[in-house]
């Protein structure tokens, strides 16, 4: 039976210390710190040579590897999307792209000790399943030949799936290739919302894939939702969430849609007057938190939820949760190698990003050069702040004593600027201090990226900056 939105308001017993006025005041879009410094701080002086040196230097650490492969092609442009993607129905683009990826692998491999285990791999896009099953097999074979993929049960190999571009045969094939995690884009199950964002996706498509993934024994399946889309209301999104909860995915993400038509052309097809207002968006968020909590999900942070037995929730309880360019991760620290157009690597304290343009990416590789276009080398200060931000958004608390011991600093004195910026959030009840340990309150957990922002010395200046 559906739970009406008005009933949900009555059910709220203060597990989140909800305060509409406070949440509206802090409702300022900021970085989610997939990297620090964020990509808006990347500079053109980090190029091929800097990335080559970082790859070579990283071998001394013996850290395992994480591979990210960006597959940018989509058949249609969903109106809400802000990802780097190429809209085309011409499948002839895929073979040349795989060839360029292989050339990039060869160039990267020449600087890496490939005895290092590839414990993580993530294929994103775009729509990875735009490629044929034979091409997916070919790409896996090339990755294995260049880097040596892992067969360990503990590996974390994930791929993003568009249910409109996959079926049960696709899932069986992906399992045979070694993938053990799936991420499915759903956004919303309401037909009116789907039509407004040009992503018509009947519920049965998602249900069939979830049932097959469960039958095949995939370790984890994540569903991605978006709130703040046109025609959404607290009641309509509650209906979507009720159906999603019934599907029982191990993980869920609920992202906040940011309408920026001046920056993203596809969003110009969404009418501002069709979007839910600020109060309705807060009501959608509040109802979602109640429903997911009552369904047994743990709010990991920043819109991510997991079952208590999922590896993310377990890692958070143990204090070993990590956060990187692919989001929350239960694995230990890895050196991240990004492959493909716009992909970002993080190796030996250096962020290196490939060009957003497919033409520039192809031209560099055709000249036998790594395509690194921009990036940044983390300073000592960056590493301190990066660690503080990561621990805060993973643990919902930060021990300044431990931070000081790790980096050999007097942390309260070193971070005096941060502590000054945290005074207002402390007065507003977003955090409390337990000696030298900062602890986010229940409502502070909902605004954890705002608390983390206090630790950032480098932030984008333009409010509409696109950053990670």
Q: What is the CATH number of the domain that holds 218?
A: 3.80.30.20
Please count the structural domains in the chain. Answer: 1
Backbone angles phi, psi at 157, to 5 degrees: -115, 110
* Residue 444 belongs to some domain of the structure: no
CA angle 308, 33, 396 (to 5 degrees): 40
Nearest to 119 by CA among 161, 65, 68: 65
Give the relative orientation of helices 94-109 and 358-366 as an angle to the nearest 10 degrees. 50
Residue range 14-28: average pLDDT?
71
The pLDDT assigned to 467 comes to: 42
Q: What tens digit of pLDDT does each residue of 407-437 get?
A: 999 999 999 999 999 999 999 999 999 999 9
The pLDDT assigned to 18 comes to: 75
Nearest to 334 by CA among 68, 103, 141, 106: 68
The pLDDT assigned to 19 comes to: 78
The pLDDT assigned to 28 comes to: 66
* Residue 428 belongs to some domain of the structure: no
CA angle 468, 347, 151 (to 5 degrees): 100
Q: What tens digit of pLDDT does each residue of 28-61 get?
A: 666 778 889 999 899 999 999 999 999 999 999 9
Q: How far is CA 10 from CA 4, 13, 64, 280, in A?
A: 10, 8, 49, 17
The pLDDT assigned to 42 comes to: 95
Q: Assign 332 a pLDDT band (cuts: 50, 70, 90).
A: low
* Residue 359 belongs to some domain of the structure: no
Residue 377: pLDDT over 70? yes
Which of 10-14, 107-111, 210-214 has the weakest average pLDDT? 10-14
> pTM here?
0.91
Tokens (6 digits) for 23: 């949440």
Residue 417 host element (H or E):
helix 416-421
Residue range 308-320: average pLDDT?
94
Residue 370: pLDDT over 80? yes
Which of 155-159, 264-268, 347-351, 401-405 has the weakest average pLDDT? 264-268
The pLDDT assigned to 31 comes to: 75
Q: What tens digit of pLDDT does each residue of 357-369 get?
A: 999 999 999 999 9
Helix spans in 26-153 (H): 48-58, 94-109, 133-147
Residue range 153-181: average pLDDT?
95
* Residue 4 belongs to some domain of the structure: no
Distance CA 334, CA 357 (A): 27
Residue 4: pLDDT over 50? no
* Residue 378 belongs to some domain of the structure: no
Percent of the chain with pLDDT over 70: 93
The pLDDT assigned to 17 comes to: 65
> Which strands, in side-by-side order, build the sheet including 397-399?
397-399, 437-440, 431-434
Residue 441: pLDDT over 50? yes
* Residue 27 belongs to some domain of the structure: no
How far, in whole angstroms, is CA 144 from its chain's centroid?
A: 25
* Residue 230 belongs to some domain of the structure: yes
- Mean pLDDT computed over every residue of the chain: 91
CA angle 281, 282, 288 (to 5 degrees): 90
DSSP state of 75: S
Residue 209: pLDDT over 50? yes
Q: Assign 22 a pLDDT band (cuts: 50, 70, 90).
A: confident
Tokens (6 digits) for 427: 């007065």
Distance CA 309, CA 313 (A): 7
Which residues are registered as beta bridge partners of 399?
437
* Residue 106 belongs to some domain of the structure: yes
Domain containing residue 201: 39-337
Q: What tens digit of pLDDT does each residue of 333-345 get?
A: 899 999 999 999 9
The pLDDT assigned to 304 comes to: 95
């Amino acid at each position: 039976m559906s739970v009406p939105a008005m009933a949900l308001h009555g059910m709220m017993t203060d597990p989140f210390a909800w305060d509409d006025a406070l949440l509206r005041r802090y409702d300022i879009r900021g970085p989610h710190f997939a990297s620090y410094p964020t990509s808006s701080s990347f500079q053109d002086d980090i190029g091929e040579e800097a990335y080559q040196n970082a790859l070579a230097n990283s071998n001394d650490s013996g850290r395992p590897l994480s591979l990210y492969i960006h597959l940018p092609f989509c058949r249609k442009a969903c109106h809400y999307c802000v990802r780097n993607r190429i809209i085309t129905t011409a499948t002839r683009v895929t073979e040349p792209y795989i060839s360029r990826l292989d050339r990039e692998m060869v160039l990267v491999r020449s600087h890496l000790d490939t005895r290092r285990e590839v414990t993580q791999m993530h294929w994103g896009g775009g729509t990875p399943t735009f490629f044929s099953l034979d091409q997916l097999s070919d790409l896996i074979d090339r990755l294995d030949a260049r880097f040596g993929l892992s067969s360990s049960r503990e590996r974390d190999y994930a791929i993003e799936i568009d249910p409109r571009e996959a079926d049960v045969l696709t899932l069986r094939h992906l399992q045979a290739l070694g993938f053990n995690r799936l991420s499915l884009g759903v956004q919303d199950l309401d037909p009116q919302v789907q039509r407004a964002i040009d992503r018509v996706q009947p519920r049965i498509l998602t249900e069939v894939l979830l049932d097959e993934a469960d039958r095949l024994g995939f370790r984890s399946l994540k569903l991605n939702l978006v709130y703040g889309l046109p025609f959404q209301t607290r009641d309509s999104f509650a209906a979507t969430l009720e159906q999603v909860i019934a599907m029982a995915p191990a993980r869920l993400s609920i992202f906040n849609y940011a309408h920026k038509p001046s920056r993203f052309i596809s969003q110009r097809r969404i009418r501002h007057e069709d979007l839910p207002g600020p109060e309705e968006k807060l009501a959608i968020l509040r109802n979602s938190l109640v429903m997911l909590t009552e369904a047994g999900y743990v709010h990991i942070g920043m819109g991510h939820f997991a079952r208590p037995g999922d590896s993310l929730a377990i890692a958070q309880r143990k204090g070993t949760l990590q956060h990187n360019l692919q989001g929350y991760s239960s694995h230990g620290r890895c050196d991240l190698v990004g492959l493909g157009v716009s992909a970002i690597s993080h190796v030996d304290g250096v962020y290196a990003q490939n060009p957003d343009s497919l033409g520039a990416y192809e031209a560099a590789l055709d000249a036998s050069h790594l395509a690194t276009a921009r990036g940044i080398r983390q300073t000592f200060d960056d590493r301190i702040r990066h660690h503080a931000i990561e621990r805060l958004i993973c643990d919902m608390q930060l021990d300044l004593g431990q931070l000081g011991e790790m980096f050999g600093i007097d942390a309260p004195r070193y971070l005096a600027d941060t502590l000054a910026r945290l005074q207002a959030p402390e007065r507003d009840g977003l955090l409390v201090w337990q000696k030298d340990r900062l602890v986010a309150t229940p409502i502070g957990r909902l605004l954890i990226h705002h608390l983390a922002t206090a630790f950032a010395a480098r932030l984008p200046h333009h409010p509409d900056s696109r950053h990670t």
